A and B are shown apart, each in its own frame.
Chain A
């Protein structure tokens, strides 16, 4: 079939994708990428037609995060390419390996304001780890290999390859025998290991601060071993959730703005922070110069630029966490400190009592967490439901909790769940969304319908942009500006029009049965949960405040 035709740039793209083990791509066609879609016709790579390029980008992100592989998305020039940008920015902020392929107008037309011409290469500089524009067919193969290598090397991230239409159509005349590998620039530490050991040995109240880098470095076993051997109490960022097993008695949960009281108090009191794959994000630290004020810092990271960026490191250990963390493993004599944090954990545990018959979202999420099968992958959107999910759902691996951390992008949850489900067809995938967020990529219900993707959607409906409403109530004198969503569509009818089974619940007494029905259902399902618009996420560290000064109610 294809063997009778000469190999074109478009055909070469799919050959390279296959060489890198890519089985699935997410995309949307258009004029300037037609030769690539023509080559797709002959390829064994399976393409999922999303209903918006942003959906394609987020599905690629969800795919990458759930499976630990590179996610691939593609779009046409101009508006197709610009629609990818939010997804690329999200992948950059959360260090997710994604390769985005964009069609571009033909080289002869470039720079002439041609139809659907945009300088996506220029736009990509701020929202990718690296990008390429291919100007010669002879460069294409090498560029594509490099794109995959760069996406995965060191701190992972998105790479964009912009391919003009004539390059897609050009005949490939020579093939590479081997492609050139990147030279690794990570510089290994000189003496900091012994310095770190010295600091660690003298610590009386140490805390292990676990970030998203742990999962990305495949160092979950090493971090758990380290936590067990040292007996060090641990806390997690939003992206680190799952790295430490929730049944570790010294694990205190998430820290930061909506972190647990025990985590935040313990961190404020500690005399040493051992930071693994985390970056002192402002949502974690609260007021930076009052964060963990008495702590020395041992900082493990793959990215040199994170060391001393927001907090000075007394010892910095650069490079592969998997190899480096065991170098510091030792047993510590900190039983008094352990008892203290365990007491805090017991004193400040979550409470699920909630007056009235209206549904309490934290209780629903906790119950769902208890009911869901092992290895369920959760995705979330952004808002109160996201923070409640982080607080009340327990996962045992960061690849089972996919949330837009760095960017906080509404619209992430549904397409990310689609990508996750495609990468892990045998696991349950549940998107926890909000009534505001779901509408941001609601068109992806059509993707679910088309491919019969059995994603479950738990829609927490407060008829509000709840998180913004909460801030308006707390910090803007209750002046509720543009956060009411009382005119939401009928979500169940909407789901049914995409052949997705759906149910609404409004009372506590309905929760258990409805959750069971959703989880047991074979195909896609939307469970619409109406909650009280006034419920808030607690605790909350107000902006520019130290983490021990959290609010716990109004």
Chain B
């Protein structure tokens, strides 16, 4: 299992969080944690998503990016390494 932290920038729209969670599950990634503040009335929301999977993270990034409201998705590489070390320790 590899651990990743994704930083997702999105238009702050209806059920965007639910959409991200649905895609993440369906594409074979386990959700380990989430920090999100949505429906704040601001235009843009930032969501931090901690996931793990055997699958390459690019597969999930591409699929999340396809959601209509998403502005961008980044992997936090530092978190990735740290997560991986914690697991192998």
Contacts and interface: CB of A to CB of B under 8 A. Distances in A.
Do A and B form a real pair? Answer: yes
Contact of B68 (A122, A130, A305, A307): A130
Given A125-B19, A126-B22, A133 B66 contact: no
Given A121-B15, A132-B14, A133-B14, A308 B22 contact: no
Q: Which of A185, A305, A307, A309 has the most CB of B within 10 A?
A: A305
A150 interface: yes
A303 B66 contact: yes
A548 B87 CA distance: 42
Interface of A: 121-122, 125-126, 129-130, 132-133, 150, 182, 185, 303-305, 307-309
B58 interface: yes
29 contacts: A121-B15, A122-B18, A125-B15, A125-B18, A125-B19, A125-B22, A126-B22, A126-B26, A129-B68, A130-B67, A130-B68, A133-B14, A150-B68, A182-B68, A185-B65, A303-B66, A304-B62, A304-B65, A304-B66, A305-B59, A305-B62, A305-B63, A305-B65, A305-B66, A307-B62, A308-B58, A308-B59, A309-B59, A309-B62
Interface string B44-57: 00000000000000
A126 B18 CA distance: 11
Contacts of B67: 130
Contacts of B26: 126
- Sort A-B residue pairs by CB-CB distance and give the 7 closest, nearest first: A305-B62, A130-B68, A125-B22, A304-B62, A305-B63, A305-B66, A125-B19
Contacts of A130: 67-68
Contacts of A304: 62, 65-66
User: Main SS of the interface on chain B?
Assistant: helix
Interface residues of B, number: 14
B24 to A, nearest CB: 12
B12 to A, nearest CB: 15
Contacts of B68: 129-130, 150, 182
Interface in B1-45: 14-15, 18-19, 22, 26
Contacts of A150: 68
Contacts of A309: 59, 62
A305 B65 CA distance: 9
A309 B28 CA distance: 13
Contacts of B63: 305
Contacts of A305: 59, 62-63, 65-66
Nearest to A122: B18
A125 B68 CA distance: 12
Contacts of A182: 68
A304 B70 CA distance: 14
Contacts of B22: 125-126
A122 B14 CA distance: 11
A125 B19 CA distance: 7
Nearest to B62: A305
Given A122-B18, A129-B68, A133-B14, 7 more contacts: A125-B19, A132-B14, A304-B62, A304-B66, A305-B59, A305-B63, A308-B59
Contacts of B66: 303-305
B73 to A, nearest CB: 11
A304 B58 CA distance: 10
A130 B68 CA distance: 7
Nearest to B22: A125
A427 B26 CA distance: 41
Contacts of A132: 14
Contacts of A307: 62
Nearest to A129: B68
Contacts of B62: 304-305, 307, 309
A185 B58 CA distance: 17
A133 B63 CA distance: 22
Nearest to A303: B66
A133 B13 CA distance: 11
A185 B19 CA distance: 18
Contacts of A122: 18
Contacts of B18: 122, 125
A515 to B, nearest CB: 45
Nearest to A146: B68
A125 B24 CA distance: 12
Nearest to A308: B58
A158 to B, nearest CB: 13
A208 to B, nearest CB: 25
A77 to B, nearest CB: 18
Contacts of B19: 125
B57 to A, nearest CB: 12
